[in-house]
Amino acid sequence: MNKAFSKQLKEIILKNISNEQFGVSELASEVGMSRSNLLRRIQKEDNCSASQFIRKIRLEEATTILQHEDKTVSEVAFMVGFNSISYFIKCFREHYGYPPGEMGRQPIEKEIPDEKETQHTKPITKYILWASAVLIILAVALGIILSTTKTTPVLEKSIAVLPFKNDSDDANNVYVINGVMESILNNLQSLKGLKVISRTSVEKYRHSNLSIPEIAKELNVSYIVEGSGQKVGNQILLSVQLIEGERDNHLWSEQYNRQIEDIFQIQQEVAQEIASSVQIAIAPDEQERIQKKPTQNLLAYDYFLKGVEQLNKETEEGLVKGIPLVRKAVEEDEQFALAHAVLSIAYYYHDLLAPGNKYTDSLIYFADKALLYDPTLPQALTGKALYYLQVNNYKQAIEYLETALQYNPNSAIVINSLSDIYTNYVPDTEKYLEYALRGISLDINSHDANTASYIYLHLSNALVQNGFVDEAIISINKSLDYYPGNLFSEYVKAYIMYAKNKDLNETRQLLIDALAKDSTRFDIMQEVGNVYYYQRNWETAARYFDQFLEIRDYLNSNAFAHKDLEMAYVYKQLGQHDKEQKLFKQFKNLMEHEQSVFQYLFKASYYAYLGEEEQSIKNLELFTQGNNIQLWVPLFTPLDPMVDSFKNKPEFIEVMNRMEARFWQKHQRLKKKLEQENLLQVIQAS
């Protein structure tokens, strides 16, 4: 920095060196600058944050005292403004490479060595450089060893903001501290370069006795933010610290003592300091969103925080208590966009918990109000998307959700909604896989064991459909670890193992073992019969199909309707033509009403059944030209008994080769994309 300016800052800090409360705000006030201008100037000229600059001066003064005065480490720590001896030792070690207790045994550096000293130190310098090179080589080698043995890779720029603690005996103040924590979390979530764990996933650690490294390992994050505070009259006292999770190293801390009207400024500053400490560049549009005040009306904000405190309980009682409070907030400030947006989302979940969609009008009203006052607010876009999801307009829902994700790339509700749409309403295994992986990395810890089991079940299905067989095995095993009684996972695992080993006997036995655990599972009956179908064992296949159809008819269900043609083929081989014709007609009706790319796959099977080889191959080619080829199609189509008469013909072999090549090309593109976004690591780490 400019020497005069640097000297001025240093003198001010040294004058207040023993005052542990002297931080960035106090320094800015002393030097006559705004806090933001001071932050920008120090960052630009010294490439560090303002708090790091203050800490460096404190540590340099500590070094001087340790070298020239007979003081203990604890005495020096308090003399230079550290209220925690352990934190002082950690900061000192990180800055100098050795603990303060060894200060007397370290050489004292002089700024201008004389000629004799310079000559004397040359060979020592050469030795140090050589030794450093050896250490670097050893470190690299060790890094390679560790990288090959480490089973839980951590994403480099990942963070969890733990629930802040209330330092007051007054429990009524909890909502303020929780609100500050959530606002800081929301600001961090808006940064594209940072993975931020969802609020619901960290809530379980509110009263946890786990250490920081243990929490970081469970959440698979690099950094942890801790905080505590209280509201005293019109003042808010807040202490926040950033910790490197794996080694429990404190990277940054700050204490705030401000007027309540500065609450938004505090939230902005904390997010900026954390981003700076973990070396995340904040883009201009992100900076603008962080600095935008949600409201100028503190009473409205107080109602809002009280309402959100209730809504975050995620219960019907919480909705009933929280919604009126947030409505008071918008009564106080009509242009409070965030409050309107939160109301729209709350009404969506209120409808989920109540019979019938009684609150659809409220949902769209508040979503539109929020967008009127802030068209780029991610919560407002989310509310609008949830309205379209409620009225089954999935195309519009996707559009608003993906726009919301541009402004908040860490939104668990947006990512999980997209994952749900792409698996249940607009099937797209590639997009489903991408969003499912994102959701797990941010939000898996917020779910109970059973729900987590089904999440991993769906994820494993998406993985294997896209050709990620080894990752699918890991995911399906996680599903069974969460809930060993999940028979859906057991029979999906049977097919994943076939993708791995190409052994139908193994697949059949795994399915039979699953069915033995619950003989009423007609879905698994169908799957066992399906394997016997591929093995041309018509009698045994029919025995399982008979049981399946009896239960399906009793339930008046159309489950596995796409398998009706295969069952018809089995009964055709056995001469049971009544059953055959009934199933054949049902499949034909399904095929004629199918509008997706799978219509060509259905038609290919239909014409193969009729012996019209040319039409069957033609429809397989049409299916191949689509973008939704799943691994099962190139894997099982050549095994299908219906293609036995032409599976060795060049035309069939050629189209299957093209289908397989197109599938694996898509797989490689998707793999590259997921690796660039560090999403495949999620499977190992979660």
Torsion angles phi and psi, residue 250, rounded to 5: -80, 120
| Token pair 């002297």 in the structure block, residue | 22
Query: Where does the pLDDT of residue 127 fall: very low under 50, low under 70, confident under 90, or very high at 90 and above?
Result: very low
**How many CB atoms are closer than 10 A to CB 410?**
25
Query: Where does the pLDDT of residue 207 fall: very low under 50, low under 70, confident under 90, or very high at 90 and above?
Result: confident
Query: Cα–Cα distances in Å, from 590 out to 440, 570, 587, 603, 632?
Result: 35, 19, 5, 10, 20
> What's the pLDDT tens digit per position in 650-663?
999 999 999 999 99
Contact 28, 256 (CB under 8 A): no
Query: Where does the pLDDT of residue 193 fall: very low under 50, low under 70, confident under 90, or very high at 90 and above?
Result: confident
Q: Tokens for 483, please give them.
A: 């809930």
Torsion angles phi and psi, residue 577, rounded to 5: -75, -25
Is the pLDDT at 143 greater than 70? The verdict is no
| Token pair 């050549």 in the structure block, residue | 638
Query: Where does the pLDDT of residue 130 fall: very low under 50, low under 70, confident under 90, or very high at 90 and above?
Result: very low
Closest CA to 80 of 129, 15, 173: 15
Query: Where does the pLDDT of residue 323 fall: very low under 50, low under 70, confident under 90, or very high at 90 and above?
Result: very high
User: What does the pLDDT read at residue 299?
Assistant: 95
Pairing between strand 195-196 and 223-232? unpaired
- DSSP letter string over 335-347? T-HHHHHHHHHHH
Residue range 428-441: average pLDDT?
A: 85
Q: How far apart are CA 563 and CA 559, in angstroms?
A: 9
Q: How far apart are CA 82 and CA 80, in angstroms?
A: 6
Query: Any bridge partners for residue 244, and if so which?
Result: 223, 249
Q: How far apart are CA 403 and CA 407, in angstroms?
A: 7
Residue range 371-378: average pLDDT?
A: 95
Put residue 495 in one of left, alpha, beta given phi > 0 → left and psi -120 to 50 → alpha: alpha
Is the pLDDT at 118 greater than 50? The verdict is no
Continuous H helices in 284-411? 284-291, 298-311, 316-332, 337-353, 360-373, 378-390, 394-407
> What's the pLDDT tens digit per position in 37-92?
777 777 766 667 777 788 889 888 988 888 888 777 767 887 888 766 656 776 78
Q: How far apart are CA 433 and CA 398, in angstroms?
A: 15
Query: Where does the pLDDT of residue 132 fall: very low under 50, low under 70, confident under 90, or very high at 90 and above?
Result: very low
User: What does the pLDDT read at residue 156?
Assistant: 59
User: What does the pLDDT read at residue 140?
Assistant: 34
Contact 340, 373 (CB under 8 A): yes
User: What does the pLDDT read at residue 72?
Assistant: 73
- DSSP letter string over 602-662? HHHHHHHHHT-HHHHHHHHHHHHTSS---THHHHHGGG-GGGTTTTTSHHHHHHHHHHHHH
Q: How far apart are CA 435 and CA 673, in angstroms?
A: 12
**How many CB atoms are closer than 10 A to CB 37?**
12
> What's the pLDDT tens digit per position in 599-629?
999 999 999 999 999 999 999 999 998 877 8
Among positive and negative, which fits the CA dihedral 307, 310, 314, 316?
negative
Contact 429, 403 (CB under 8 A): no
Q: Range with the lowest mean pLDDT among 62-71, 110-119, 223-232? A: 110-119
Q: Range with the lowest mean pLDDT among 45-59, 141-155, 260-274, 481-495? A: 141-155
| Token pair 């694996």 in the structure block, residue | 664
Domains present along the chain, CATH in parentheses: 3-105 (1.10.10.60), 158-291 (3.40.50.10610), 298-408 (1.25.40.10), 519-592 (1.25.40.10), 594-668 (no CATH)
Q: How far apart are CA 496 and CA 494, in angstroms?
A: 6
Contact 456, 441 (CB under 8 A): no
Residue range 590-600: average pLDDT?
A: 85
Contact 444, 455 (CB under 8 A): yes
Indicate whether this model's pTM tops 0.75.
no
SS3 36: helix
SS3 426: coil
**DSSP-assigned letter for residue 243:** E
Long-range Cβ contact pairs of 281-286 (< 8 A, separation 24 or more): 281/193, 282/191, 283/192, 286/190, 286/191, 286/192
> What's the pLDDT tens digit per position in 628-651?
788 999 999 999 999 999 999 999
Query: Any bridge partners for residue 257, and if so which?
Result: 237
Q: Which residues contact 601 (CB under 8 A, 6 or more apart)?
A: 619, 620, 623, 633
Q: Rounding to the nearest 10 degrees, give the CA dihedral for residues 345, 349, 354, 355.
A: 80
Kindly report the average pLDDT of the chain as a whole number. 84
Contact 457, 489 (CB under 8 A): yes
Is the pLDDT at 376 greater than 70? The verdict is yes
| Token pair 């000229």 in the structure block, residue | 45
Q: How far apart are CA 75 and CA 412, in angstroms?
A: 47
Is the pLDDT at 117 greater than 80? The verdict is no
SS3 594: coil
